[in-house]
Amino acid sequence: MNNRHSPQAGWGALIVLCVLTMAGCAQPVETIGKTSIDQLQDQMAIAGYYRAEATVLKEKAAAIAESAVRYEHLFGPQSDWVSGARQLSRYYAVAAQDLERRAEAYEEAARAGPQRRR
């Protein structure tokens, strides 16, 4: 069997993959102080995180729903591509709703926190 790729190409691809992985992990992360006295700020930061993640999932759900429509035109309404895309879109939509509920719970805890201390 004739191998058309040199071993150096494989190592080069591996190095590029590792560099991209490290670059993705090097993004700054907002941390929440574990010994923070200001729990209100921590609760709101967590709520903000959940809201941001919910927004990302809503966008994914919408994009995949659009793909399902395109797949329906290409492959027909009974295609596995169509049903799979619709199921994935619903999954992302439900996950976004769950994250929204979590965000609301943290916001409620932040609002109730100062009242409980009085």
**Tens digit of each residue's pLDDT (9 = 90 or more) over 56-90:** 999 999 999 999 999 999 999 999 999 999 999 99
Which residue is listed with tokens 């027909």? 76
Task: For residue 32, tell me if it sits in a domain.
Answer: no
Task: For residue 82, tell me if it sits in a domain.
Answer: yes
Q: Which domain holds residue 82?
A: 38-117
pLDDT in tens, 33-57: 544 556 778 889 999 999 999 999 9
Task: For residue 19, tell me if it sits in a domain.
Answer: no
Task: For residue 109, tell me if it sits in a domain.
Answer: yes
- Give how many domains the chain has, as a whole number: 1
| Residue 60: Cβ-neighbour burial (10 angstroms; 0-12, 13-18, 19+) | middle
Contact between 64 and 93 under an 8 Å Cβ cutoff? The reply is no
**Is the pTM higher than 0.85?**
no
Task: For residue 104, tell me if it sits in a domain.
Answer: yes
